[in-house]
Structures are given as structure tokens and as C-alpha cells.
Amino acid sequence: MSTRSSPSSSLIAGMRPVGRDALLLEVRSPDDVPAIAAAVSAHLDSPDPAWSAGDVVPAARTVLVTGLTQPLAVVARDIGAWTIPPLPANAGPLVTLPVVYDGPDLGDVAGLWGTTADAVATQLRQLEFRVAFSGFAPGFGYLTGLPQELAVPRRDTPRTRVPAGSVGMAGRYVGAYPRVSPGGWQLVGTVVDTALWDVERDPPALLMPGTRVRFTDA
């Protein structure tokens, strides 16, 4: 992650039109996605912005900006001239999630890591994760922070039903399923006593992009 401001062209590899009113920003490094998304949001929140948008959707290596109110070439030129400030290292709020390590795939993950189930739990407890982006379902945050060497593949066969609160891993991402859904991630545990998604709450998602996350013992 950049610790100083960077010209957007050094962070953004390209921009692609998506239909008539959306622009896909391709980011060179996944670590820079949050800062770019924040810069777009800051522009939209500024007084009297030159262009507005409906949604800013960060993802693994891209930021999609939808519902643009000006021609895409104009927006692209504007973003291309920006300097992107870095996100402060502790930008996001810290959320602690109580986790019971009871997932059906905990043994498989331990095998893939060449260690024991207890050691998997210990490792996950020691890491600080960050919500890189949300997608797939309301409140489902993709957490980064897992070292590349600990990345695990998805299950060969997705489950049709993953219990609500399940903590899963796929690739270099960790995530927690807010509600019952199909899912192909490796399930290592369950978040307890925590509403990951609550429509009555503001904001409804506990794991917003940029939030830092630690797993604690239930």
C-alpha cells in the first residue's frame, strides 16, 4: 500500500467503459484499491463535483464507478489527472469477531498448510485483516491479510448450503457468510454473537470496505 500520494496513472493501469454510464478502473496492485475507491468517494462528496455517480464498487483489482452523469471520456480524463492520497495505515475502524473454530474444512486447511487445526486457529488469531471489498451478498466482505503462501483453493464442489456466520477461505481471501447461502469456500469456523448484516442498523454491514478485522476467541 502506498504511503505517499501518487499520480493516479501510476496506480491505475487502465480504464474501460462499461456500457454508456459506467467506468471500470483497473488497478495495478490490489493494495491500492481502497485508496482509489476512497478518492472517488471523496470526489463525489465534495461540494459541487464536476461529475457525479451512483455507486463506487471496489473489488479485487478494480474499482467500478456506475451511473456517471458526464461522458466517460470526460470522467476518465479527470481521474487520470488526480493525485491519489494514501489511506492512513489505521484508517478503518477495528472490528473484532468472536470465532469458534469448528468448520468442516478446518482439517483440510491444516493439511494444505502442513500443520495442525490448532495451529490454523492460532495463525488466524494473530493476523489483522482488512475488508478489501464487498460483493456476492449483502454484508459479505472479502478480507485480505492472509500471506500469499497460506492461500488455499476453493472446494472442488461448492456446498448448496453454508450456515450463516461461517468463516471461509478461498485464494488469499477470508470471508464470513452473513446468512445461509450456497458457497464454495473452505469453512474453518463460525462467527458467534455477531450480526454481520442488519438492515435496521446504520450502516447495515458490519464489515464495510476499509474496516480492519481481528478474530478473537468466542
| Binding stretches for another protein (CB under 8 A) | 15-24, 37, 54-64, 66-67, 72-73, 75-77, 133-140, 142, 179, 199, 203-205, 208-209
Cβ-count burial of 45 within 10 angstroms (0-12 exposed, 13-18 middle, 19+ buried)?
Answer: exposed
Rank residues 100 and 137 by Cβ distance to another protein and give the closer one: 137
CB of 173 to another protein, least distance (A): 9
Closest CB to another protein among 119 and 151?
Answer: 151
Given the complex with another protein, which of 65 and 187 has the nearer CB atom?
65
Cβ at position 110, least distance to another protein in Å: 25
- Report phi then psi at 32, rounded to 5: -90, -5
Of 66 and 115, CB closest to another protein: 66
- Work out how close the CB of 76 gets to another protein at its nearest, in angstroms, rounded to a whole number: 4
Q: How far does the chain reach from its first CA to its final CA, in angstroms? A: 31
Residue 60 beta carbon to another protein: minimum distance, rounded to whole angstroms = 4
Please enumerate in sequence order all residues whose Cβ is within 8 A of that of 171, keeping only pairs 6 or more positions apart, or say none.
Answer: 151, 152, 153, 154
Q: Are 67 and 75 in contact (CB under 8 A)?
A: no
